Structure 1
């Protein structure tokens, strides 16, 4: 960024308080310790969803199990690592058992010698060795994120922190713009182990390197120079998304759908806390006028029929409501493709609102699946089926193309993030948003009805 960039707003990743990048590297490796526990996580998560409806207890139970493993400080995730290795001993035998014993002794001895950092480092390194004994050599065919940069609009407050991952908070504020740079953590000799990680864990190996604020006009000028003939693709995230997590997932979506140069991320002030769902709903509704204004301004600047709009989960609900406002204020406006990914919205409400905004979009595509656990919880909470679930009578949604992903293999514990984890979904999005192909022309889609298609997995998935 050059024009309109505030130098005071440029933030780079701070170095570890230990003076090296070793500690951040190890912290980023936390999710890899869950690999041997993955079948157990799936079973537990399935049990949680099928219990009698008690959303608060379900959320608390899920949080108490999963989030300490992914987001806790060192003592907890070292314990998680130990549990993973103990599980692995039963499956993979003596080599893992020896390394696990060494890791455990190193950790305990180091703690007794009042050198906890050294102990944890040695314990982690040995447990990683145990993991490497347990898994085969990874395929090198997987596409890697090295560094991605993209523009954003946000309604979040500045925190005043020097850490780019904590540059914005979850409070409401005025509209701001800038560019976010996301990079893969350099893991050195541990990189082969990272390559073995499932897609949903690889997200944890990304970090926000820089956040540079800029004038809204400067951001649009820059976007105008990179979008090409297709125009921009605006993306609105969902619930339980901090700015840092949103940056990482936005980078994955940009890569997955091949939206480089076109991608614009809109970050509304989600609190980034699992227990704040209703608070996030209120913050989303508060953000609707700015989302609508952004869509209108993009169409006026980049031209009729060139602005694609995407929304995920609760963000998809925001997109629908914003489009309804846009249609009322500017009934002659013409947008490009509208894509609703795992939309957390009442199906019947969407059906009633559809005629209001359907005329202003070139196409409307809704992605659904039968294995979306957060949407199942949302349906229990609201008492009504969600648009992103299967089982709804989608034939009533005239002019909407519905893509059922139920045949695809699971890419994560929730089934809710297929837009960033599934290659098949990424390729389908690329054909829609980049090539402009409709559902009846896209490879891998099998018609199930007048406006319903199933996406079949490729032979190598």
Structure 2
């Protein structure tokens, strides 16, 4: 009996340590308050860089502090932001503004405006790329509104995006202990994200909507696409290009979602890493159920499944993470934007091209930043 207890403890210890690590990391790092949403006035600089971000959120507004909290709202609120981007930034780490602002080192909001829905859509259409593409970022678990907003600005700055990306911010509790609450909030946000996507797709100017979901945001993205499919909105689903980074989705739930969604014109892309320790913790919370974001592309079973389900599974382990857990590698992908665009454009010309790939960060400057990890099979 005692030996069985010891074996059980040994089995769960790694996941418990990761969960404790998550709590420790969050507790040691000072998280930004809604004060960072207040616009500041800066003197013009020769090296000044600005980026814009559009937001849609179903969080309830915090009328006292001027931000948005974790309570669920019945309607979407739309905003437009302008950011000053620091020239001396280090990797993907975000330096938030302080009372003594250093624009050389810190991001800062320099413009903020609430928009009516029609005005929001109009602004979004101004950001549509020449090929008709527009992008929506859906953040993951344990994110506040301001954290998700600044992360979107960082990605936009590093990717040198034309126009303003769109952030969809759902009411995460922004707390390590809020995992279950966040999952409920994500599920409750399906119709809100559905509404946003549908509003944008209604324009003939929009040919392609890149729906990028990170972690639990990937779960929300898949549930929303599934809902659209069950509503027979093929006109909307047909415009979607789904990218899931470190998706916190149970493998069997994902299979079920894929069955309901069926074949999409553009195959779903998964950005995975088998050493993602945050997903080890979520797997433990879920009764040691495997997560999609930790798929091992060297496993022949995974490779065959990628072909069967028409997925592009891309291992991004070579990209350095900044969170100590290997869960935020997606934030570093922005600087490889040109290479990713080249890869995606080539694959889009043969939309059935699916399989397993490895992203080689060291060789990203070459024409083809992806090297094949095993057999890549064409359309089935």
Shorter-normalised TM range: 0.7 to 0.9
Distance 2:320 2:159 in 1: 18
Q: In the alignment, what sits opposite 2:253?
A: 349
What are structure 2's unaligned runs of at least 5 residues?
1-9, 34-46, 98-105, 366-380
Task: State the shift of 1:356 in Å.
Answer: 2.7
The yes-or-no answer on 1:413 pairing with 2:324 is yes
For 1:380, which of 284, 287, 292 is the aligned residue? Answer: 284
Task: State the shift of 1:349 in Å.
Answer: 1.6
The yes-or-no answer on 1:200 pairing with 2:93 is yes
Q: Secondary structure at the match of 2:345?
A: coil
Q: In the alignment, what sits opposite 2:53?
A: 150
Instruction: Report matched runs for 1:131-150 at 5 Å.
Output: 146-150=49-53
Q: In the alignment, what sits opposite 2:69?
A: 169
The number of residues matched between the two structures is: 322
Distance 1:289 1:423 in 2: 28
Q: 8 Å contact 1:155–1:176 — kept in the other structure? A: yes
Judging changes above 3 Å, is the alpha-carbon distance between structure 1 residues 302 and 439 closer, same or farther for their aligned structure 2 residues? closer
Judging changes above 3 Å, is the alpha-carbon distance between structure 1 residues 59 and 318 closer, same or farther for their aligned structure 2 residues? same
Distance 2:262 2:164 in 1: 23
Q: In the alignment, what sits opposite 2:346?
A: 437
For 2:310, which of 399, 415, 436 is the aligned residue? Answer: 399
Task: State the shift of 1:304 in Å.
Answer: 6.9
Distance 1:182 1:59 in 2: 34
The yes-or-no answer on 1:64 pairing with 2:31 is no
The yes-or-no answer on 1:330 pairing with 2:232 is yes
Distance 1:387 1:199 in 2: 24
Judging changes above 3 Å, is the alpha-carbon distance between structure 1 residues 215 and 316 closer, same or farther for their aligned structure 2 residues? same
Distance 1:350 1:169 in 2: 29
Distance 2:124 2:11 in 1: 46
Distance 2:340 2:13 in 1: 36
Instruction: Report matched runs for 1:13-32 at 5 Å.
Output: none
Task: State the shift of 1:179 in Å.
Answer: 0.7
- My pick for the range that moved more, 287-296 or 197-206, is 197-206
Distance 1:200 1:51 in 2: 31
1:358-394 CA-to-partner distances (Å, cap 9, x unmatched) read 4344231110012212111111111211111133724
1:8-52 CA-to-partner distances (Å, cap 9, x unmatched) read xxxxxxxxxxxxxxxxxxxxxxxxxxxxxxxxxxxxxxxxx9971
Q: In the alignment, what sits opposite 1:29?
A: none
Distance 2:29 2:140 in 1: 22
Distance 1:342 1:212 in 2: 32
The yes-or-no answer on 1:159 pairing with 2:62 is yes
Distance 2:91 2:282 in 1: 26
Task: State the shift of 1:221 in Å.
Answer: 0.9
Distance 2:169 2:321 in 1: 27
Task: State the shift of 1:265 in Å.
Answer: 1.2
Distance 1:340 1:145 in 2: 32
The alignment's C-alpha RMSD in Å is 3.2
Distance 1:145 1:240 in 2: 31
Q: 8 Å contact 1:307–1:335 — kept in the other structure? A: yes
Q: Secondary structure at the match of 2:327?
A: coil
Distance 2:48 2:218 in 1: 26
Distance 1:287 1:230 in 2: 26
Task: State the shift of 1:325 in Å.
Answer: 0.7
Task: State the shift of 1:65 in Å.
Answer: 5.2
The yes-or-no answer on 1:52 pairing with 2:13 is yes
Higher share in strand: 2
Distance 2:209 2:315 in 1: 25
Rg (Cα) greater in structure = 1
Distance 2:228 2:121 in 1: 20
Distance 1:286 1:180 in 2: 26
Judging changes above 3 Å, is the alpha-carbon distance between structure 1 residues 331 and 258 closer, same or farther for their aligned structure 2 residues? same
Q: In the alignment, what sits opposite 1:300?
A: 202
The yes-or-no answer on 1:240 pairing with 2:149 is no
Judging changes above 3 Å, is the alpha-carbon distance between structure 1 residues 361 and 239 closer, same or farther for their aligned structure 2 residues? farther
Q: 8 Å contact 1:364–1:401 — kept in the other structure? A: yes
Distance 2:94 2:223 in 1: 32
Q: 8 Å contact 1:239–1:314 — kept in the other structure? A: yes
Task: State the shift of 1:171 in Å.
Answer: 1.1
Distance 2:112 2:13 in 1: 44
Higher share in helix: 1
Task: State the shift of 1:170 in Å.
Answer: 1.5
1:90-135 CA-to-partner distances (Å, cap 9, x unmatched) read xxxxxxxxxxxxxxxxxxxxxxxxxxxxxxxxxxxxxxxxxxxxxx
